Structure 1
Amino acid sequence: MPELPDVEGFREVLASCAQGKRITRVDVYDAGVLHGVSAARLSRDLEGHRFTAPARHGKWLLARTDGPTVLLHFGMTGQLVCCREADRPDPHDRVVFTVGRNQLRYRDQRRLQGLWLADDADTDVARILDDQGVDAMSVKRAEFDELLSRRRGRIKSALTNQSVLAGLGNLLADEILWRARLHPARRADQLTGDELHRLHTEMRRTLRSSVHAGRVPTRKSWLTGRRDDADPTCPRCEAPLCRTRVGGRGTVWCPRCQPDMP
């Protein structure tokens, strides 16, 4: 599932492939991924405009132009691919933007999210992103502490709640909690100041490394690189990993490194 590092990678794809270029054609092959806009209007309102510098908020990509802004969400299987116009189409290409000899292709197998169109770069974008919390990559320590200290639920649920922190998904949350040595079922409002500091520090470190890699790495030194093994063990202490569900999400942690209580 695309998380913040993946979407940051899609932002770079858009910037390198299309920034500054004029949109000559918009082809919608599956209108089911469009939200609040028809295929005809999407094409009419975008063709002739140029892509400007893209932005990201959480798991959302903001494809800005010198006119409207396209907001893309990638759900569980979406991606943004830069191709040559002559490249063979993929059966899961849903919307294609032609820019010169290149094409930006929104490709998604399961079609769980899609594209929105914002006429106003401020008002309409803010309305579409109204339920999103602060971006996990940019949240400051004081705001982070305040956000979590108000949450009475489990810490993993707080980290993956997009209205609290935007951008973290299941893999990142488990990785960050393992690095911070915090049990995923701990109550967020009961973390100490030192634990919050450790959690914020490890979140920033994990995000920086993941963004640099373009995804949550599957290195064996990471929890992510062990969690799907037949008999997974902790990369730090080699204890057998535990698996359960927290907030309805499959969750992996180390019982030795992440005790239930401090």
Structure 2
Amino acid sequence: MPELPDVEGFRRVLAAHAVGRRIRTVDVLDAGVLRGVTGAGLRRALTGRRFRQPWRHGKYLVVPVAGSRAGAAVLLHFGMTGSLEWEVDAERQRFDRVVFGFAHGELRFRDMRKLHGLRYAPDRETVKRLLARLGPDAADLSAAGLSDRLAGRRGQVKPALMDQSTVAGLGNLLADEILWRARIDPHRPCPQLDDSDLRRLHTRMRTVLRQSVEAGRVPPRKTWLTGRRDDPTGSCPRCGTTLSHGRVGGRGTAWCSQCQPR
């Protein structure tokens, strides 16, 4: 499931291989991933153009299009199964949906489930409008900013962290990992978080994001909760207690009842 670290990895792929190169072809192999634009419209907008340096906001990758005074951009959201791949002389895969062709390779938007997809924004105002509902990017959020974003929330802390309008970029794996490291039960109501909890939560969030971005994903290391959560008999990497599993905010959740007491 792509979360902030994965999207940062996709940004690096695009920046390394496609920025500044002329887009020779735009092959829409499955228009089911397009949002607000047709295949023909996307081809007209991008063929012969060049991508500029991409940037990320939460789980969105924004790719400006060079030569557009209005600030046009392509926006990619990878849903639960999407990715961005650079391929040279490789057969196209079953789930390649949109392929941007360059002189020496192809940039492929690949997605099995097609839950979100690709948008074309013809100007800066459209980009702003499409991102307006998002909260601050989790990697840029200060301790005071996190406290402010959670202030007034009455629900449980895990769903609050995963609400993209509150904090952009955190998904299921990141939320569980951060809460485990901060020793905060995912069920705890936000009003019960004191200043010490919030400072610890922010510190652990920064650490998890930094290490995950370096790895290009949320790494399934055995010293991390994410490395043991899928094992029904998995134990806490910190204290050895068998992990608890359940649903919080409708999402499958793992936590340690010893390290994260209610």
What's the counterpart of residue 76 of structure 2? 72
What's the counterpart of residue 87 of structure 2? 83
What's the counterpart of residue 256 of structure 1? 258
Partners in 2 of 1:173 and 1:249 — Cα distance?
Answer: 11
Partners in 1 of 2:167 and 2:246 — Cα distance?
Answer: 23
Moved more, 2-11 or 135-144: 135-144
What's the counterpart of residue 165 of structure 2? 163
What's the counterpart of residue 111 of structure 1? 114
Q: Which amino acid aligns with 1:17?
A: H
**What SS is found at the alignment partner of 1:221?**
coil
How far the C-alpha of 1:189 sits from its partner, in A, is 2.2
How far the C-alpha of 1:150 sits from its partner, in A, is 1.7
Q: Which amino acid aligns with 2:208?
A: T
Partners in 1 of 2:256 and 2:151 — Cα distance?
Answer: 24
1:219-261 residue CA offsets vs partner (Å, 9 max, x unmatched): 000000011113010000000111111110111100000000x
1:188-225 residue CA offsets vs partner (Å, 9 max, x unmatched): 12211011000000000000000000000100000000
Please give the TM-score of this superposition, normalised by the length of structure 2.
0.97
Equivalent runs, 1:180-219 vs 2, <5 Å: 180-219=182-221
Q: Does 1:130 align with 2:116?
A: no
Partners in 1 of 2:125 and 2:192 — Cα distance?
Answer: 37
What's the counterpart of residue 36 of structure 1? 36
What's the counterpart of residue 49 of structure 1? 49
CA RMSD of aligned residues (A): 0.8
How far the C-alpha of 1:64 sits from its partner, in A, is 1.5
**What SS is found at the alignment partner of 1:134?**
coil
Partners in 1 of 2:250 and 2:39 — Cα distance?
Answer: 35
How far the C-alpha of 1:179 sits from its partner, in A, is 0.1
Q: Which amino acid aligns with 2:177?
A: E
Asked whether the equivalents of residues 149 and 190 of structure 1 are also in contact (C-alpha less than 8 Å), the reply is: no
Q: List gaps (5 residues or longer) in structure 2.
A: none
1:44-79 residue CA offsets vs partner (Å, 9 max, x unmatched): 011111111000000001111213210000111100
**What SS is found at the alignment partner of 2:80?**
coil
CA pair 186-230 structure 1, distance change in 2 beyond 3 A: closer
Work out which of the residue numbers 176, 181, 188 in structure 2 matches 1:179.
181
Partners in 1 of 2:232 and 2:182 — Cα distance?
Answer: 25
Partners in 1 of 2:232 and 2:121 — Cα distance?
Answer: 46
Q: List gaps (5 residues or longer) in structure 1.
A: none
What's the counterpart of residue 105 of structure 2? 102
Query: Once superposed, which parts of structure 1, at least 4 consecutive aligned residues long, lie more than 2 Å away?
Result: none
What's the counterpart of residue 224 of structure 2? 222
Q: Which amino acid aligns with 1:175?
A: E
1:51-109 residue CA offsets vs partner (Å, 9 max, x unmatched): 1100000000111121321000011110000011x311101110000122111000011
What's the counterpart of residue 58 of structure 1? 58
Partners in 2 of 1:174 and 1:239 — Cα distance?
Answer: 16
